[in-house]
Amino acid sequence: MADIKKLNESIILGDLDTSVQITKEALAEKTDPQEIIQEYMIPAMDVIGGKFERNEVFVPELLMAARAMKGSLELLRPLLAECGIEPQGRVIIGTVKGDLHDIGKNLVASMLEGSGFEVENMGVDVPSDKIVAAVQSNKIDIIALSALLTTTMPSMKDVIEALKEAGLREKVKVIIGGPAVTQEYCDQIGADGYSENANGAVGLARKLLAS
Amino acid sequence: MRTNGIQELLKSRSLLFCDGAWGTIFQSAGLKPGESAELWNRDYREKVLEVAQSYVRLGVDMIETNSFRGNGITLAGIGAEKDAAELNRLAAEISREAAGDKCLVLGSVGPAGKILMMGDVSENEMYDSFAEQVHALEQGGADAICIETMFALDEAELAVKAAVENTNLEIICTFTFAKTMGGDYKTVMGVSPAQMAEKMLNAGASIIGTNCGYGMEAMIPIVKAFRDYDSNIPLLVQPNAGIPKIEDGETVFPETPDEMAGQVPGLINAGASIIGGCCGTTPEHIRAIMTQANL
């Protein structure tokens, strides 16, 4: 009998091997993949995310948990696809043009992936037209933009303007983040939301897709 | 024999001064977002030399080099990884030319821009890139290596180790800390000043400290935390001129020279040994800090 309650704990502890093991056992016993995700995995990410926001844990613990979560999700995803269940949402993420910093952006990508989103990481120094092209050719729900530097934050506005010009602005939500990004800046450039940290980005993405 | 110029100076003086920012001054001088300041060592040598000279003229005890993002892994982002050794050597040569024998030259080494545990680079690759950088800085005439703005113990340890094993220079290591909800200071990886101090001193750094961050006043509790760990170790403190804001499309660092200078007595009381500046500081900020400290 798979000790599925331990799946929650193993994700919180960032124990990839145990998480994958329990997931395999649970699947062998024909447990509903949706139930595994909703009842045990997502709540685990919520717990570790809350600890992160309260500074009880830091980036390493968050990354480990996201990795354990991702390991289990990889086993479950094909089964979900078979039943026609879509991912939580499709996200493209990148650091904007002129900015080569990718740590914060990769952290947000890991958290979104670990929380059930399908994420395409477009890398750093991503020009607006590449983002527009990605939205034109794929079904994208959310664009997540990162900028570390105050001097590259205006590139976020450029992306939003380029989306408007291409007539795509209403089709996608745009979320932004970076150390100097504020709610005020988000409002100013007309983005749909901003998060102060990687965990907040998950809540924000969920909220925007539910609205 | 490893150099020890800074430690020698500290035998006769309790407080030394370091330079302020370079990168934010280059931005005012036309460095575009995404452009590598390190390429200026080759392409606009005079402009880099000018910044170095502007700090030397103040009478600081040490200036840094324009090599913060000169790590081969970082330079690979702009396809310039093959130029890493040359750009770092030039950086040290320019600062050496400005400094002459009037002040010491600290070879600046910033983070590689990757987190080891994310698996994007291996420990060996990271070590090699630091080794190449510190070696080139020594060749160019640096007196010490300043490994700065670090936040992860594993990466900083590799950088210090690379400096120990590939140079004969005095080694400084500084981390960037932020205030947690619990009120203490940690890096984004959860590293406290005491944990950092223990690891970096063991790895071979002889001077430690903190830089960047959230302005001058926020450095005081961090310095105290270091002093609680070790009452003697030389401490380098290089704050930002506050947290940058965007006003009318321009990046503004809010702390004025006088505001930063006003925090100097607090920093000295907390136990700082060397004071300089990070992003947003200018020669005027450093001048005000030196004037205040010498009152």
User: Is A39 part of the contact surface with chain B (CB cutoff 8 Å)?
Assistant: no
Minimum mean pLDDT range among A32-41, B165-174, B220-229, B267-276: A32-41
pLDDT tens digits along B175-211:
999 999 999 999 999 999 999 999 999 999 999 999 9
Are A180 and B246 within 8 A, CB to CB? yes
- Contact between B26 and B194 (Cβ < 8 Å): no
pLDDT tens digits along B249-289:
788 899 999 999 999 999 999 999 999 999 999 999 999 99
Contacts of A106 in chain B (CB under 8 A): 115, 118, 120
Neighbours of A110 (CB within 10 A): 22
Are B189 and A151 within 8 A, CB to CB? no
Q: What is the pTM of this model?
A: 0.92
Q: What residues have CB less than 8 Å from A14, skipping those under 6 apart?
A: A48, A61, A63, A64, A65, A67, A68
| Pure H helices in chain B | 5-12, 23-28, 40-43, 45-56, 72-75, 84-99, 123-139, 153-166, 193-203, 219-229, 257-262, 264-270, 283-293
Q: Taking 90 as the threshold, does the pLDDT of residue B120 lie above it?
A: no
3-class SS of residue A102: coil
Contacts of A100 in chain B (CB under 8 A): 34, 74, 77-78, 113
The span from the CA of A171 to the CA of A138, in Å, is 11
C-alpha of B16 from chain center: 15
Whole-Å CA distances, A143 to A46, A128, A139, A204: 22, 11, 11, 12
Q: Which residue of A58, A105, A106, A128 to mutate against B (max B Cβ within 10 Å)?
A: A58
Minimum mean pLDDT range among A30-44, A76-90, B120-134: A76-90
Q: Which residue of B69, B115, B151 to mutate against A (max A Cβ within 10 Å)?
A: B115
- Contact between A169 and A160 (Cβ < 8 Å): yes
DSSP secondary structure letters along B199-212: HHHHHT-SEEEEEE
Are B190 and A98 within 8 A, CB to CB? no
The span from the CA of B241 to the CA of B104, in Å, is 23
Residue with tokens 């959230």: B214
Whole-Å CA distances, B252 to B27, B238, B249, B288: 12, 18, 9, 19
Average the pLDDT over A35-45 and give the result: 91
Residue with tokens 């331990």: A6
The span from the CA of A83 to the CA of A69, in Å, is 21
Query: HSE (CB half, 13 Å, CA atoms) of A210?
Result: 6
Query: What pLDDT sits at residue B88?
Result: 98
Whole-Å CA distances, B213 to A124, A210, B157, B178: 24, 36, 20, 7
Contacts of B244 in chain A (CB under 8 A): 150, 180
Q: Taking 90 as the threshold, does the pLDDT of residue A115 lie above it?
A: no
The span from the CA of A100 to the CA of A110, in Å, is 18
Least Cα separation, residue B127 to chain A (angstroms): 19
Chain A, chain B: beta-carbon pairs less than 8 Å apart: 66
Least Cα separation, residue A103 to chain B (angstroms): 6
Determine which helix (DSSP H) or strand (DSSP E) holds A162, and give its type and residue range: helix A154-165
Residue scoring higher pLDDT (B227 or A84): B227
Q: Taking 90 as the threshold, does the pLDDT of residue A1 lie above it?
A: no
B237: nearest Cα among B207, B258, B259: B207
- Contact between A36 and A65 (Cβ < 8 Å): no
Average the pLDDT over A148-156 and give the result: 89
B254: nearest Cα among B18, B52, B24, B85: B24
Provide the mean pLDDT of chain B: 96
Are A100 and B117 within 8 A, CB to CB? no
B104: nearest Cα among B200, B176, B177, B169: B169
Contacts of B78 in chain A (CB under 8 A): 100
Are A150 and B246 within 8 A, CB to CB? yes
- Contact between B145 and A91 (Cβ < 8 Å): no
Average the pLDDT over A133-156 and give the result: 94
Contacts of A55 in chain B (CB under 8 A): 180-182, 186
Minimum mean pLDDT range among A22-26, A110-114, B64-68: A110-114
Q: Taking 80 as the threshold, does the pLDDT of residue B33 lie above it?
A: no
pLDDT tens digits along B220-246:
999 999 999 999 999 999 999 998 887
Provide the mean pLDDT of chain A: 93
Are B188 and A152 within 8 A, CB to CB? no
